[in-house]
Chains A and B, each alone.
Chain A
Amino acid sequence: MRRTRYRLRVAAVAAALTLMCALAGAVAARVYHGQLLTLLVAGAALGAFAIGFALRNRPAFLAPSVSATGLAAYLLGAIALTADGTEPLGTVIVDALVNAVPRTLTALIPVEPAPDTVIVPVFLTWLAATLACEFAIRYGRTLLGCLPPTLLYGAGLYLVGPNAAAGTLWAIAYCVLAALALAVTAAPPERRPDRDAKVDGAAPSRTPALMGAVVTTTVLLAAVAVLGPAVARLVTASPGDPREYVEPPQLTDIDLNPLVRIAEWAKYPEQELFRADTSADAWMRLAVLTEYDGTTWQASGDFRTAGTVIPGSGEATYTADVEIIELGGKLVPAAADPTAVTDLPIAVNLHTRCLLTPDGLATGSAFSVDSALVQVDAAAAESARPDLGDGATVVVPPGTPEVMATIADYIRTEFDTPYERAQGLADFLAEHYAFDAEAPSGHDLPALGFFLGDPIALGGQRGTSEHFAASYAVIARLVGLPSRVVVGFDVPAGASTVTASQGMAWPEIAFDGVGWVRFDPLPAAGSVPSPPEDTLEKLEEETPSEEEESGGGGEAEDYNDEALEQDADFAEEAAAEDDALPRWVWYAAAALVLACVPLVLKARRALRRRRRLSRGSPAERVAGAWAEVLAAAARAGVKVPGHLNAEEAAARLASLEADIGALPRLVNAAAFAPEAVSESDAKAATAIASGYAKRIRHQVKRWKRLIL
């Protein structure tokens, strides 16, 4: 029976540690394409542990050597499985062994399972499993055995960096497995150093160890619940990423500020940029510009090298086969959001999900882009509030022309909801300004002021999509709407040649729960613009004078304040909704867990009391009764030093004025002549101990009564 229990315990530890190793290895697999690496690391964990387990009773030198042989065979198998077969296996093996570490750390994400990218995780998983098996199974040090898979887990997290979700469930599962392995091998009471445990004698109970594990786990969970969100916020705020040491692709000027290309495209509309064969009519984006410093619009965030599959995108609903003709630069046209690119090395801006090819586009280069087209719920957008989560999208540089503020005031006055304001601004620009392909390029604040405010006679109030989009985005920010400028092409479904006339810039506004919504501020073809001054002057006439404002508060002022308050409300709510769970929920959960601690302690004590007084031989029950009496006295503040014998201890306990009768004599018999203790003695001792705690309860401090 004892042997069977031992084997079951060892098997449980082995299973838990194997799963821990597999889990820790699979952490890194989250940035790999497909499930192949997960299977490989799981197999490595299983294989290494199987070898270690089988050789656990053999000489210690045998396991490492056999395990090393198994590792070599397994690595060869993994390399053969992931090699594409274009090169001799020997070459592949040498190349993989030499370049495994740097390539694993800097591989495109999602990482394609290739010989040089699978070696490191497989090797580390095998090593962790071998060490874990040696520590935990051969030497019986379970805690030490948990160390290698934990280090592997940490290495996996480092490799993943910010390129995958936090994986909370993985961590919980890992902790549960570790706790299981430790709980199974928790020291039996007779091996614990406290003398209290000796009460159990020859029939030890595992309940104290299990209860200890439960209490410890509860406390740890409470700590995690309290500290977890804060720590997680810290961690996710600055995650380490090995790829940050890889130099990102360098952008040329034309890529840094693609808006300047609008003027060129407008001037030469016949220029053929690329050929496209698409599955649907869509806007193909070249660049998304979110940061404006008053001079140029620029994209935020670095480009990261990626594989054929773009991480974090949904299922592809759109395909485009592209062949470059005259489109230059490095930015790659693609419909939002791209999911996969074939036949072209790609880097992706994880912030805007725009694409870039490090070597630049060349005439004749062909590739295909799959995208998951973004569907905007127009109805939801009309009632949505602005998404103020990204501070960069609402930044307005100093020195905005007065005309912009005037237009912003007009928009705020005329329209109520965010969507109405966005659409109203687009309509305002379309109605009062004219498209002119010959307009000089430029989107700094003076140029935009010229475009918006100067008379038509002087060349103002007309411009290209560059001016319309840039002006719209700045005014939108003045109104309180998060905006950005997108440069791209309107590409129809089917095969077509995209010319420069299709290239344009457009503004987008972010709505909470909806995403970025495209607005078109360009005037309809053939429309005649009405001067904006008329509309704006009408607004000034309706605006009360300063006296009126100081007298009773003008309506416009009130309205503006209200609008600002509304915007502030939007901002607060948007920030609050960032957290999936409100903070009070965490505090409440922590308080609940802490409140449960006294209950757990009381339950543990009740179980121990029951075990002491009702289990075992009469002598053990007498000893249990003695232990209960001493424990109760200790709670009441009277501790019995270990060097006192039973009679002396009884004399010490006399200060509590609760008689323990013949218990000293009985406990002496139980300790020094167990066979002399009869069943009636045990009952007498139990009866004494049962009433003792109640008799001295009034002498126990209140807080001790609560938790002990």
Chain B
Amino acid sequence: MHDTEQTHPLHVPRRLQQPVQLGAQQAEQFAATFERLAAAVDTVVLGKQEVVRLALTAMFAEGHILLEDVPGTGKTTLARAIAAAVSGQWRRIQFTPDLLPSDVSGVTIFNQASGAFEFHPGPVFANIVIADEINRASPKTQSALLEVMEEGRVTVDGHPHQVPQPFLVVATQNPVEMDGTYRLPEAQLDRFLVKLSVGYPVEAAEIEVLRGTHQRSPEHLPAVVDTDTVAQMADLAKQVYIAEPLYAYLVQLANATRNHPQVAVGVSPRGLIALTKAASVFALSQGRTYIVPEDVKALAGPVFAHRIQLAPDAAMRGANGAAVVADAFDQVPVPLPASAA
């Protein structure tokens, strides 16, 4: 029955027909797996539970992660820990100014023995791709990621090549040292579901880091889930129920960023979809089968802030996307019953 519905050309997703279709048991299983995975990553990345959970949320929402912070805060460690915790194929690309697009996507080489051109996949053909210091590569090379991040395939010499699923790009960049770097274009930024900042650990966590420097390494992290499980969990997240008032709430939030006086370009519909997907995973990670405004608020900053292009004068005055998002939340009423005016 379920298959029939899915293959019908006029199929209406079941979540539009029935408010809540996910069972509580499924949600609890999701939450438990999510928590196991997060706990595993937490053993390597100490004191960053929130960032870890946001990163995992992005992974299950089939989005990509941009980690931006000063050097040495654990960006790459986090990316490697996530890759290690998922027993899939992962690759790391160290972006440098001389890196070519073919170094990322792969090349077609003539095989003299077979007398035919053969495609040699690049490092992007993995379940988890760590694009370290992505802003050091030239825009041309950065753009090589556009297609694969959006569509999950690479086109070389006119031939499309599917990357393995699930596919997750975890990119890192350093916001301080800008010499010899190329700022990611808006289109590229929009491809990342979340932009996270790891930040310095708290004192206790940092002491703990020092104490076990040699013991905690992503290489030693056993895989907690496999890629099939990740794919199943991502599918499960698509069934999370979203109440009608929340759709309007989300759109009003996006409009609030678009109409904000300090903003030149507000949140795109792709950003809105990304927030919806992320909120769905976030709700499920807490054992809930439906989204609530708290989920939206928890994720709006990481999902929206990097997509907002500030007006030049606002940028000069030090405004930032996070503040714009906070303003938007202050303007839009939550669709709760009986909120006092």
Contacts and interface: CB of A to CB of B under 8 A. Distances in A.
A196 B289 contact: no
B340 A642 contact: yes
A671 B340 contact: no
Given A645-B292, A673-B20, A640 B339 contact: yes
A73 interface: no
B339 to A, nearest CB: 4
Given A194-B341, A630-B339, A673 B334 contact: no
A624 B336 CA distance: 11
B31 to A, nearest CB: 15
B338 A645 contact: no
Interface string A609-652: 00000000000000110110011011000011111111101000
Contacts of B336: 626, 645-646, 649, 667-668, 671
Interface stretch (B172-180, B258-266, B306-314, B324-332): B324-332
B222 interface: no
A559 interface: no
Interface residues of B, number: 27
Interface string B115-133: 0000000000000000000
B337 interface: yes
Contacts of B243: 671-673
A707 to B, nearest CB: 18
A643 B332 contact: yes
B36 interface: no
Contacts of A672: 241-243, 245-246, 290-293
A24 interface: no
Interface in A644-675: 644-647, 649, 667-675
SS of A interface (majority):
helix
Contacts of B341: 194-195, 642
A640 B245 contact: no
A263 B249 CA distance: 100
A645 B293 contact: yes
A81 interface: no
A198 B332 CA distance: 18
Contact of B339 (A624, A644, A669): A644
A643 B330 contact: yes
Interface string B266-307: 000000000000000000000001111110010000000000
Contacts of B242: 672
A644 B335 CA distance: 10
Contacts of A624: 337-338
B86 to A, nearest CB: 30
Interface centre among B242, B294, B330, B337 (most CB of A within 10 A): B337
Question: Chain A, interface size: which category?
Answer: 20 to 34
Contacts of A287: none
Contacts of B338: 195-196, 198-199, 623-624, 626-627, 630-631
Given A646-B292, A668-B292, A676 B339 contact: no
A310 to B, nearest CB: 63
Nearest to B243: A672
B19 interface: yes
A631 B333 contact: no
A196 to B, nearest CB: 5
Interface string B315-327: 0000000000000
B28 to A, nearest CB: 14
A253 to B, nearest CB: 77
A386 to B, nearest CB: 65
A670 B242 CA distance: 13
A669 B290 contact: yes
Contacts of B292: 645-646, 668, 671-672
A199 B246 CA distance: 17
A530 to B, nearest CB: 94
A640 B19 contact: no
A639 B341 CA distance: 8
Nearest to B329: A643
A198 B338 CA distance: 7
A689 to B, nearest CB: 11
A623 B338 CA distance: 7
Nearest to A638: B340
B17 to A, nearest CB: 12
A673 B340 contact: no
Contacts of B297: 645
Interface string A193-207: 011101100000000
Contacts of A639: 340
Contacts of A646: 292-294, 334, 336
Contacts of B289: 673, 676
B301 to A, nearest CB: 14
A602 B98 CA distance: 78
Interface of A: 194-196, 198-199, 623-624, 626-627, 630-631, 633-634, 639-647, 649, 667-676
Given A631-B338, A671-B245, A672-B246, 10 more contacts: A199-B338, A623-B338, A627-B337, A630-B338, A633-B340, A634-B340, A646-B292, A672-B243, A672-B245, A673-B20
Closest 9 CB pairs of A and B: A627-B338, A642-B333, A673-B290, A623-B337, A645-B293, A672-B243, A668-B292, A642-B339, A645-B334
